[in-house]
Amino acid sequence: MQKNYTSHGPDEQTHGVASGRVVILGTGGTIAGTAEDASDNVGYRAAQLGVEQLLVAIPPLANYLLETEQVAQLDSKDMDFATWQRLALRVEAHLARPDVAGLVITHGTDTLEETAYFLQRVLAPKKPVVLTAAMRPATALQKDGPQNLLDAVTLALDPRASGVLLAFAGQVHSAEQVRKIHSYKVDAFASVDGARLACIEEGQIRWLAAAPVTGDAVGTKALSASSIDAWPRIEIVMNYVGANGSAVRALLAQGVDGLVVAGTGNGSLSVGLEAALREAQSAGVSVWRSTRCDAGPVTSSTEALPSAGALSPVKARIELLLTLLWQKCGAQSR
């Protein structure tokens, strides 16, 4: 996709703003959405405005040295592997540039936590890669996108920031811990076990905890080694009253490479569901056990199916996807 560049301000430091170039990558979402009625916060169309248009509505960003690129333009409920692949490669390319201090990615809220975790595991960046979004469209009477985007740029320039982060509603979360916890409120995200990293208050970042140390990156080589259609198929199933395993057997009949089960409590499973999952495991399907609870790990035991640890079901799916993709591409197993 053609890149569009915009530099704001004559110098890298203007009016006391921290120096450094920030690259903003647009992918669409509610932050770029529009509605016919300014009082309508739900009946809008996502991904209608380009990232350049979003910047024009935020005058303070004129004090920063910015560069923009429209990587995708979609509603994040429709996020796909092809966009993930393209986004990871563009982020990697910009991170390698010595003039770039950090990146910001505008995204929809629905699958933001999945994209954030994917990028963290693939790239494990030392520079900050900050995702941001909005719960209200750009045409709303009280839009939240402009402040979130301004905060994200501020965070991307903070020398203490690193890794993939979320700047949203004045809060900073890590890719590993963040989850969307509300369907409508403007403060829709929280960190598991209350592990938020910082608050952004009037352009100042108040750190509450050290930014997480970035681990080893899976790398982008495996992403490009095979076509998207050849990526492992990982599905999520859930334990609930009456779960009998029929969904697992249907998926097994279709052909699936891995299954993540969102168990109850500490990853507990009904007798029928566990039996079906063990059938899948015996057939060569990788099975990981997570929990449908909002927080807390699934403890491991030699008798139970493999645990996904503290990963949510959607993040466990990404971890299993990358594990199988890496193995498939012949890389050394972690």
Q: Which of 224, 283, 218 is nearest to 248 (CA)?
A: 283
273 and 316 share a domain?
Answer: yes
Is residue 89's pLDDT more than 80? Answer: yes
Residue 268: DSSP 8-state: B
With respect to residue 185, please indicate whether it lies within any of the assigned structural domains.
yes
By annotation, the residues acting in catalysis are: 30
Q: Mean pLDDT, to the nearest integer, of 19-28?
A: 94
pLDDT of residue 12: 38
Using the predicted structure, report yes or no on whether residue 52 has a pLDDT greater than 90.
Answer: yes
Mean pLDDT of 165-172: 98
Burial status of residue 233 (CB atoms within 10 A of its CB: 0-12, 13-18, 19 or more): middle
125 and 246 in a single domain? The answer is no
- Please provide the DSSP assignment of 162-210 as one string: -EEEEEETTEEEETTTEEE--SS-SS-EEEGGG---EEEETTEEEESSP
User: In the listed set 149, 179, 207, which residue is the last one of a domain according to the structure?
Assistant: 207
Q: Reply yes or no on whether the pLDDT at 260 is more than 90.
A: yes
* Structural domain ending residue among the three candidates 207, 241, 271: 207
Least confidently predicted of 42-46, 166-170, 238-242, 256-260: 42-46
61: which DSSP letter?
Answer: G
Domain count, the chain: 2
CATH code at position 257: 3.40.50.40
Reading across the β-sheet that carries 286-291, which strands appear in turn? Answer: 234-238, 258-263, 286-291
Range of the domain at 82: 21-207
Determine, yes or no, domain membership for 11.
Answer: no
pLDDT, residue 19, reads 67
pTM, two decimal places: 0.91
Closest alpha carbon to 201 in 154, 166, 142, 156: 154
Q: The CATH number of the domain where 136 resides is what?
A: 3.40.50.1170
Please give the residue that has the higher pLDDT: either 135 or 2: 135
Percent of the chain scoring above 90 in pLDDT: 82
- Are 106 and 49 spatial neighbours (Cβ–Cβ below 8 Å)? no
User: Can you say how many angstroms the Cα of residue 45 is from the centroid of all Cα atoms in its chain?
Assistant: 21
> Would you state the pLDDT for residue 329?
79
Does a structural domain hold residue 334? no
Residue 149 lies in a domain: yes
| Same domain, residue pair 121 and 173 | yes
Residue tagged 């779960």 (tokens): 243
332 pLDDT tier (thresholds 50, 70, 90)? very low
CA Rg value for the chain: 21
Q: 279 and 164 in one domain?
A: no
pLDDT digits (tens, 9 = 90+) for 215-244: 778 888 888 777 898 899 999 999 999 999
Asked if 55 and 111 sit in the same domain, the reply is: yes
Q: How far is CA 62 from CA 15, 57, 65, 318, in A?
A: 10, 10, 8, 37
Percentage of residues in the chain having pLDDT higher than 70: 92
Asked whether residue 155 falls in the same domain as residue 57, the answer is: yes
The answer to whether 163 touches 175, Cβ cutoff 8 Å, is yes
Residue 251 domain flag: yes
Last residue of a domain, one of 207, 241, 263: 207
Question: Does residue 203 sit in the same domain as residue 252?
Answer: no
- Lowest pLDDT segment from 66-75, 87-96, 122-131, 211-220: 211-220
| Span 194-213, pLDDT tens digits | 789 999 999 999 999 877 76
Over the chain, what is the mean pLDDT? 91
Check: CB of residue 306 under 8 Å from CB of residue 287: yes
Residue 333 lies in a domain: no
For residue 16, what pLDDT band results from cuts at 50, 70 and 90?
very low
- Looking at the fold, whether 160 and 235 belong to one and the same domain comes out as no
